[in-house]
Structure 1
């Protein structure tokens, strides 16, 4: 942890004019009206009307400032500004989509912070020609949350070749509407790739030099420690599963308990087994059942089928593999005890990996130069940077979440922390644009 500005480096790209902070907060207030809920959060799941309205607003904001807006074949949204002809781009961004009745800050802060960062840098490099090595790009990744369409981090997953494009486009929500249809209705689905990122993509022509993302922590380490900035050195690994518990439909009154194949009973045992695993390993394993759908979901019918979404997360890949074996064993025991079948498949999985040490050092030097406190914080949540770090040099930054609240309407981060984070991102990306990574 550090709170001094002893590391060399002039933070010349960071404005001290209070009007720049006010402008950011005004834009954040406006952006938070799209899909606003009565309790102070937002409801704008991927490719819904509210998400589309927010995207349209951001597109207008970028175009007014001279950026070119483009969409790729999975609906990722880019704001492009060329400083150096034919040079690669430094990307910065996050996601605008939310969880159902989610918070205003999750993801959206990172997109707007990136937009303001790139606009400040645009103005700086116009006034200081010849300093930039790379070009500027803002990105709003499609469907990071994975609440309407599964899995999560879908846009960055396709972009980095970890998710097959057609499979993503064919993914449907509970109403049967596909990603391709939803994005097509918004007129936000491109017919070609904006960037060329490897063999998984047709040539889009543009190259990526590096990536930066800033996000609320979604945990309480920074808030608890009273530290402003978190620099992410590595991620927790995660296994996310889709399972179906298959039983037999019958009458809740007439069917003898011994004769029942109650899928909901089996699902309940699976939820308890998950929690038992978490209790066994303590803070080294997080588990949850985030979604459960019962069929036929009638008050007088023993459930025939339950679809569930479960996850295991750990800082240790070995522990995660061990917990997976134990979960398999628990499922086998549940099948016998509840007289059901459990069909399991991975929906999404990633290993715990490190971010480039050079990016961590760069961010820490910037934060020191700006005189802010900082500490290293591993990310337990998945972020688009989790995918991008495997493709290009990547910097991931956190600012505090009050009481660690996230994915909820009472999610909150102080205004001063928001604006300070934009300053840190601006100076970090500026150094990246000048070739620091």
Structure 2
């Protein structure tokens, strides 16, 4: 198993869209994202596999050992957040490419023919930094989001997904492969594995997520000529809402819920004009849906009071609600077995963040794996995972993929609605 080749590829991809402080900036369907896509395409073609790009920009490298058989899909995403880390997503794609090449070599050398074929995927717009919502490409694949609606989504400059993908040459027309199963490996983006000295996290469920689209409408006026008593400042009101979103977590047990406002735009955004409109997105997440619902209810009540106090209007809409999804028990047991055979320590873990595996888990039995993150830091340039942990993860993903193509979860259905909390 050539770990050096994997590390060479990983550290090369980290130079694409590299930032000054060892991060990357490769937002979906930008020129930088296009460069990683070209790298992926060249890698797949050099390996002798079929390359497909579907109608939402997902890229697949297909290995066909059994004509007509469905595929086990492995991979992640190559897009990043603005000034993001070089490990998030990209590690999972590059690990999948190398795991697939190892298995392809085994078959070529006479190993027993697998039950299923294999495909490596680079999902479009997992991050959602440029186009909302996140986890877009895999959710379209899984039928959770409508492709035409997603192609019409615009960024802050008004460019649509359709225009952006066409502009970089990756608005495909190919049919995506059918999935008999899915596996993804990712950095933890938390500190549990590092703190406990565990090699591999076996993800058993995702957190409940609720986002709020909030529009604050005030009145535009002159910052110098308008008396303070006569102002209807949308930005002042929005700043108080941001603090409400932050402080609502204090009503619950420590670490029971997380909240943030990560995006804010204002109009007219002039230094001598009182803001007339502010748009922001609030993000609430918990392992208990009732906690999120209680936090949402409190925010709606407090925002209503604030609007009346400031004599402004605030429109709040529910946005991007994601239920808890539980990963198949058979997949967790399989992953535990593979880790033990490799001499790797493992434990079950929840994911607070969203991943493509959460969407894929609705249509195919899926396995989600974590490797440690140093200091639990992610979505920033300081994000870091050691070479040793990455290499161990490639071995782990290879072992999982080997079992999946052999039919290990062939009788395991994807979780139904009854599996949702």
TM range (shorter): over 0.9
- The corresponding residue for 1:403 is 375
2:58 pairs with 1:86: no
For residues 337 and 193 of structure 1, do their structure 2 counterparts lie closer, same or farther at Cα, with a shift above 3 Å needed? farther
2:296 pairs with 1:324: yes
Deviation of 1:102 (Å): 0.5
**What CA deviation, in whole Å up to 9, does each residue of 1:122-180 have, x standing for no partner?**
11122235430000100100000001111101101111111111111011111211111
- The corresponding residue for 1:345 is 317
Q: How many angstroms apart in 2 are the aligned matches of 1:106 and 1:435? A: 29
Q: How many angstroms apart in 2 are the aligned matches of 1:186 and 1:294? A: 29
- The corresponding residue for 1:251 is 222
Which of 275, 300, 304 aligns to 2:246? It is 275
Which of 258, 276, 293 aligns to 1:286? It is 258
**What CA deviation, in whole Å up to 9, does each residue of 1:358-399 have, x standing for no partner?**
111111110011111111110000000111111110000000
Give the 3-state SS of the residue equivalent to 1:210 in structure 2.
Answer: strand
Q: How many angstroms apart in 2 are the aligned matches of 1:169 and 1:37? A: 29
- The corresponding residue for 2:365 is 393
Alpha carbons 1:265, 1:338 under 8 Å: kept:
no
Give the 3-state SS of the residue equivalent to 2:347 in structure 1.
Answer: strand
- The corresponding residue for 1:426 is 398
**What CA deviation, in whole Å up to 9, does each residue of 1:22-80 have, x standing for no partner?**
00000111111110111111011001011101110111111111111110110000000
Q: How many angstroms apart in 2 are the aligned matches of 1:280 and 1:102? A: 31
Aligned CA RMSD, in angstroms, stands at 1.1
Which of 153, 167, 174 aligns to 2:149? It is 167
**What CA deviation, in whole Å up to 9, does each residue of 1:335-376 have, x standing for no partner?**
112222111223311011211111111111100111111111
Give the 3-state SS of the residue equivalent to 1:227 in structure 2.
Answer: coil
Q: What are the residue-to-residue correspondences of 1:140-151 with 2, within 5 Å?
A: 140-151=122-133
- The corresponding residue for 2:349 is 377
Q: How many angstroms apart in 1 are the aligned matches of 2:229 and 2:90? A: 51
Give the 3-state SS of the residue equivalent to 2:350 in structure 1.
Answer: coil
Give the 3-state SS of the residue equivalent to 2:375 in structure 1.
Answer: helix
Deviation of 1:321 (Å): 1.5
Deviation of 1:269 (Å): 1.1
2:213 pairs with 1:213: no
TM-score by length of 2: 0.95
**What CA deviation, in whole Å up to 9, does each residue of 1:260-311 have, x standing for no partner?**
2111111111111111111221311100000111111122211100010110
Q: How many angstroms apart in 2 are the aligned matches of 1:348 and 1:116? A: 33
Alpha carbons 1:70, 1:78 under 8 Å: kept:
yes
**What CA deviation, in whole Å up to 9, does each residue of 1:200-222 have, x standing for no partner?**
xxxxxxx2100000000001111
Give the 3-state SS of the residue equivalent to 2:40 in structure 1.
Answer: helix
Which of 110, 113, 136 aligns to 2:95? It is 113
Q: How many angstroms apart in 2 are the aligned matches of 1:261 and 1:373? A: 58
Q: How many angstroms apart in 1 are the aligned matches of 2:363 and 2:207? A: 18
Which of 334, 352, 373 aligns to 1:362? It is 334
Alpha carbons 1:34, 1:54 under 8 Å: kept:
yes
Unaligned runs of 5+ in 2: 410-421
Alpha carbons 1:262, 1:339 under 8 Å: kept:
no
Give the 3-state SS of the residue equivalent to 1:92 in structure 2.
Answer: strand
- The corresponding residue for 1:51 is 33
**What CA deviation, in whole Å up to 9, does each residue of 1:402-430 have, x standing for no partner?**
00010011110000000000000000110
Which of 14, 18, 36 aligns to 2:18? It is 36
Unaligned runs of 5+ in 1: 1-14, 196-206
2:280 pairs with 1:308: yes
- The corresponding residue for 1:436 is 408
Deviation of 1:192 (Å): 4.2
- The corresponding residue for 2:207 is 236
Q: How many angstroms apart in 1 are the aligned matches of 2:242 and 2:256? A: 18
Q: How many angstroms apart in 1 are the aligned matches of 2:202 and 2:113? A: 26
- The corresponding residue for 1:60 is 42
